Amino acid sequence: MNIESANKNGKDVGFERIRRITGYLVGTMDKWNDAKKAEERDRVKHSLTK
């Protein structure tokens, strides 16, 4: 997933962002298609008040 051996100090190493997509989890959003990326960006949180 990450090019962990590229540089031991973390240069060019991104954060992993695990998100759910059609029921499945995906370990890095690099592999998401453009529409799903846009959908993820637009997701709003749901409050717990009635």
Partner 1 sequence: MIKSIVKRDGRVVLYDEAKIAAAALKALEASGAGDAALAAQVANAVEERLTAQCGSEPPKIEQIQDAVEQELMRAGCEDAAKQFILYRANRTRIREANTSLMRAIDEITSVDARVSDMKRDNANIDGNTAMGSMLQIGTAGAKAYNAAYLLTPEQAKAYREGDIHIHDFDFYALTTTCCQIDLLRLFHGGFSTGHGYLREPQGIASYAALAAIAIQSNQNDQHGGQGVPNFDYAMAEGVRKTFAKLYQSGLQDALEDVLDSYDESVLAKMAVDAGRAVTGEEPRLGTDTEDFDAAAAKVIADTGRLSDEAAAHMVKHVRARALRRTDRETYQAMEGFVHNLNTMHSRAGAQTPFSSINYGTDTSPEGRLAIRNILKAEDAGLGHGETPIFPIHIFKVKEGVNYNPGDPNFDLFEYSCKVSAKRLFPNYVFLDSPFNLQYYKPGHPETEVATMGCRTRVMANTAYPDAEIAYSRGNLSFTSINLPRLAIEAKGDEKKFYESLDAMLELVAQQLYDRFEIQAAKHVYNYPFLMGQGVWLDSDKLGPNDEVREVLRHGSLSIGFIGLAETLTALYGHHHGETDEMQQKGLEIIGHMREFCDKRSKQTGLNYGLLATPAEGLSGRFIRMDQKRYGKIPGVTDREYYTNSFHIPVWFPISAYEKIQKEAPYHALTNAGHISYVELDGDTANNVEAFEAVVRCMHDAGIGYGSINHPVDRDPVCGYVGVIGEVCPRCGRRSGEALSEEKLAELKKLYPNATPYCGCT
Which residues of the chain form contacts with partner 1 (CB under 8 A)?
2, 4-5, 7-27, 30-36, 38-39, 42-50
* Whether 49 contacts 43, CB under 8 Å: no
Place of tokens 């799903």: 36
Shortest reach from residue 41's CB to partner 1, in Å: 9
Shortest reach from residue 28's CB to partner 1, in Å: 9
Shortest reach from residue 3's CB to partner 1, in Å: 10
Quick one: which of 19, 24, 23 has its CA closest to 38? 19
